[in-house]
């Protein structure tokens, strides 16, 4: 298979016919009518990545990306009520506050780890057992990482991509909880930015 030279000037972009004649220099992708160079582009109707485009604005503020207001639970909330809230809501993480101060995050995974699941078919029995055996303090992650409303999207992305984090509580300058940012929030921002 013949490959074309990579030194093609940026102003000359090969046509589909030229690319087909030369063979695909990028074997993982074949040319389509949407883009001319088979080595870059976006499939499925997304925005094409064009060399020379403006870079994504990673300095965008968290306050524009976060989910707000944040639903939270108190540290003394019964685990059964937290489990019921997580089962009936579209979210999977809840900041935990003690006297208005962020002390942790509890997730549906934290509760699933202690679930009786297959051994108990009655949800009421399982919830009663959960309340007698555990407190939220036993299940949650203590001292969670967080971001501030004025922090950059890049900082949140860096924190979420390093470690076992899936959400970051968002605090204002007075340390009050104002929202939450999840990996899903960042993906939504990424595809609409």
Give residue 130's pLDDT band: very low, low, confident or very high (50, 70, 90).
confident
Q: What is the pLDDT of residue 114?
A: 75
Q: What is the mean pLDDT of the chain?
A: 75
Closest among 125, 127, 74, 69 to 97, alpha carbons compared: 74
CATH architecture of 62-192: Roll (3.10)
**2, 14, 20, 25, 132 from 5: Cα distances, Å:** 10, 11, 14, 9, 70
- Label the pairing between strands 93-98 and 73-74: parallel
50 pLDDT higher than 60: no
pTM listed for this prediction: 0.66
Q: What is the pLDDT of residue 190?
A: 85
- What percent of the chain stands above pLDDT 70? 66
Please state, in angstroms and rounded to a whole number, the distance separating the CA atoms of residues 59 and 159. Answer: 15
Q: What confidence score (pLDDT) does residue 119 get?
A: 59
Q: Whats the size of the chain, residue-wise?
A: 193
pLDDT at 140: 93
What are the sequence ranges of the domains in the chain? Answer: 1-52, 62-192
> Tokens representing 110?
């934290």
Model pLDDT, residue 172 = 94
CA distances for 125 relative to 80, 86, 122, 140, angstroms: 10, 18, 5, 22
Q: What is the pLDDT of residue 163?
A: 73
- pLDDT score recorded for residue 6: 45
Cα separations in angstroms, 103 against 131, 142, 179, 180: 20, 6, 15, 14
Say whether pLDDT at 81 is over 60.
yes
| Of 143 and 13, more confident | 143
Q: Around Cβ 71, how many Cβ atoms within 10 Å?
A: 14
């Amino acid at each position: 298979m013949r490959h074309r030279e990579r030194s093609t000037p940026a102003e000359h972009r090969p046509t589909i016919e030229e690319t087909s004649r030369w063979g695909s220099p990028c074997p993982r992708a074949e040319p389509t009518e949407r883009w001319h160079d088979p080595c870059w582009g976006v499939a499925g109707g997304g925005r094409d990545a064009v060399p020379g485009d403006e870079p994504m604005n990673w300095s965008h503020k968290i306050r524009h990306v976060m989910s707000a207001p944040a639903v939270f639970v108190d540290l003394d909330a019964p685990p059964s009520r937290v489990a019921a809230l997580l089962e009936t809501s579209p979210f999977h993480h809840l900041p935990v506050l003690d006297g208005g101060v962020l002390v942790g995050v509890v997730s549906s995974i934290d509760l699933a780890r202690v679930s009786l699941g297959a051994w108990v078919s009655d949800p009421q029995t399982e919830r009663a057992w959960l309340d007698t055996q555990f407190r939220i303090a036993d299940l949650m992650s203590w001292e969670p990482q967080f971001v501030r409303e004025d922090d950059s999207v890049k900082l949140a992305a860096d924190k979420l991509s390093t470690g076992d984090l899936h959400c970051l509580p968002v605090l204002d300058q007075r340390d009050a909880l104002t929202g939450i940012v999840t990996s899903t929030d960042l993906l939504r921002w990424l595809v609409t930015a």
